[in-house]
Amino acid sequence: MKAVLQRVLSSRVEVAGQIVGQIDHGWLVLLGIGIGDTQDIAQYVADRCVHLRGFSDDQGKMNLSVQDVRGSMLIVSQFTLYADCNRGRRPSFDSAASPAIANELYEIFCECVRGTGVPVAKGIFQADMQVILTNDGPVTLIIEKNA
């Protein structure tokens, strides 16, 4: 499982011109789910995202978590994080989990985050989404846990 976290001042997801998920400050999480990923991995990565100290304290040091700053998380499923671009000119997605498994683990991930008290907004699984964000920093971090 791969999670790309972007610290944002605000972010939203639109589908067909309609806002389907929106947050103010917090993490925009682009979540990729790979073959072999499990519920335990989803719980582990969710916990890492919630507790990662990527927000600045009064001294400007990244010492605060999204919980500490009372932020939110906008979680967007993105299978293209598992693209293999090393051969040919077209990416291969052979390492991405099947849609049924990916959707189940995406929902589990979202519920794990919600269970910590962090507000969660979501995209729509497998939809053509437009993600709009205002980066803060910019700060972009990657959390990865392999099966």
Q: State how many domains the chain has.
A: 1
Q: Looking at residue 99, what is its pLDDT? A: 96
pLDDT at 147 over 90: no
Question: How confident is the model over 52-65, as pLDDT tens digits?
Answer: 999 999 999 999 99
The residue annotated as part of the active site, out of 39, 80, 126, 130, is: 80
Residue 93: active-site member: no
HSE at residue 73, side-chain half, CA atoms within 13 A, is 31
Please check whether residue 24 is in contact with residue 72, taking contact to mean a CB–CB distance below 8 angstroms.
yes
88: left (phi > 0), else alpha (psi -120 to 50), else beta? Answer: left
Indicate whether 106 pLDDT > 80. yes
Catalytic residue among 6, 55, 78, 109: 78
CATH for 93:
3.50.80.10
Q: Which domain holds residue 94?
A: 2-144
Is the pTM above the cut of 0.75? yes
